[in-house]
Amino acid sequence: MTGSQLLLYGARRILFIVPVLLVALFLTFALTRVVPGNPIDRVTGPYVSQEHRAELKHQAYLDRPFYEQFAFYLRDLAQGKMGTSYTTAQDVSTDLRQRFPATFELVTYAILLSILIALPLGVLAAIKKDSWIDQIARVVSVLGVSMPIFWLGLILLYIFFYYLDWLPGPVGRTGSVLTSTQPITGFLTVDSLLRGDLGQFGQAWRALVLPCVTLAFVAMAPIARMTRATMAEAMQSDYVRTARSLGLPFRVVVFRYALRNALIPILTIIAAVYGYALGGEVLVEIIFAWPGLGLYSYNAILSSDFPAIQGFVLLVTLLYMMIYLLLDVLTAALDPRVKY
């Protein structure tokens, strides 16, 4: 597809997202109302008077019919307001904005790391079938999808923090010292460099290692597996046979013919892995006390913080949809057979 065609394709896909997003919104909203009882009763103790409770309910629109509540929610949403959190007393959107960078940094590095390892591993395993590297790839793949991510995190934490004391414990992004400097990009690893604070730079990295590796190991597995499978298939294909019959060097055959074709299904897997990572990182944040969206949602669940949970699900879903869209457009760019 040409560049302009791609843009149109992307625009069309974005348009498709809107109805899906609305339905998702509705679903999320409906889910919170499925819970028996109402938020006010669950959050307030027995010492709050009936009138006060009624007042709170009125403020939270809980005395209106369902569709009205939804309408109010949508209206607020359009203004960027997601309701007030019961625990932080801020608007949920503010909460989310504050917690987002931590999660984004963690997930981004984790996915990058997993691609960096899984892709070459898969390619090598496919080329040298049944060699030792193929065995390693297979073992890593099958282990990665079999292990509970929260268990892996705990094991790594135990080995590297408790036992060897090489890396910081589960105390968040900076290992020990809390900083309250204004973020620039939100990425501590980047901001500290920009500010010239090498001490914090090192600390940020050290704190990132374990949670990142945990997430990456699990993300690596399906990518390596898909890469190996599609590469192996590509290497058996007719067009690779043609390329070899023309005497093209092996390097070219592997990268320009096989990998180039195999990349397309691999991209789909990466999108799926990203979705998985968004879920898995909730568990990772809980274990490592990483102050991101995941930990936020966990605390929200524990304290029945309705607006917070709603906001979290919404944001994460939106992120996921955007990543999927991005990868869809990328696939269209790479595969000329995709019809606009």
What is the footprint of another protein within residues 211-240 (CB under 8 A)? 236-239
Closest to another protein by CB, 18 vs 180, is: 18
Total residues at the site for another protein (CB under 8 A)? 71
Residue 338 CB, nearest approach to another protein (Å) = 10
Of the CA atoms within 13 Å of residue 279, those in its CB half-sphere come to 9
Secondary structure of 210-265 in the HEC alphabet? HHHHHHHHHHHHHHHHHHHHHHHHHHCCHHHHHHHHCCCCHHHHHHHHHHHHHHHH
Q: Which is nearer to another protein, 250 or 340 (CB)?
A: 250
Give the residue from 297, 318, 333, 334 showing the smallest Cα distance to 14. 318
Q: Which of 88, 117, 244, 303 binds another protein (CB under 8 A)?
A: 244
Given 56, 62, 117, 145, the residue binding another protein (CB under 8 A): 145
**Out of 5, 181, 279, 340, the residue judged to bind another protein by CB under 8 A:** 279
Amino acid identity at 123: V
Q: With respect to another protein, which residue has the nearer C-beta, 32 or 179?
A: 32
* CB-based contacts of 304, cutoff 8 Å, min separation 6: 39, 42, 43, 86
Instruction: Give the one residue of 66, 166, 250, 340 binding another protein; rule: CB under 8 A.
Output: 250
Q: Which is nearer to another protein, 51 or 337 (CB)?
A: 337
The residue among 118 and 309 lying less far from another protein, judged by its C-beta, is 309
246 binds another protein (CB under 8 A): yes
Q: Tell me the CA end-to-end span of the chain in Å, nearest whole number.
A: 8
Of 45 and 336, the one with the shorter C-beta distance to another protein is 336
Nearer to another protein, 162 or 185 (CB): 162
Nearer to another protein, 2 or 79 (CB): 2
Sole binder of another protein in the list 11, 52, 66, 162 (CB under 8 A) = 162
Adjacent-strand bridge partners of 84: 91
Binding residue for another protein, selected from 190, 286, 326, 330, defined by CB under 8 A: 286
Binders of another protein among residues 177 to 216 (CB under 8 A) are none
Token digits of residue 49: 């008077």
Other beta carbons within 10 angstroms of residue 303's beta carbon come to 15
**Dihedral angle, C-alpha 143, 146, 150, 151, nearest 10 °:** -70
User: 8-37: which residues touch another protein (CB under 8 A)?
Assistant: 20-21, 23-24, 27-28, 31-32, 34-36
255 is a contact residue toward another protein (CB under 8 A): no
Angle at 132 between CA 125 and CA 228, to 5 degrees: 15
Binders of another protein among residues 62 to 121 (CB under 8 A) are none
Q: Does 336 bind another protein (CB under 8 A)?
A: yes
Q: Which two tokens stand for residue 320?
A: 């996921």
- Any idea what DSSP says for residue 289? T
Interface residue with another protein, options 150, 175, 193, 205 (CB under 8 A): 150
- Comparing CA positions, the residue from 318, 287, 293 lying closest to residue 213 is 287
> Rounded to an integer, what is the distance from CA 125 to the centroid of its chain?
27
Binding residues among 296-325 for another protein as defined by CB under 8 A:
297-298, 301-302, 309, 312-313, 316-317, 320-321
- Let me know how many helices (H) and strands (E) the chain has, helices first: 14, 0
Q: Are 278 and 239 in contact (CB under 8 A)?
A: no
In the complex, the smallest distance separating the C-beta of residue 153 from another protein, rounded to whole angstroms, is 9
CB atoms under 10 Å from CB of 22, counted, come to: 11
Nearer to another protein, 61 or 276 (CB): 276
Closest approach of another protein to the CB of residue 51, in Å: 29
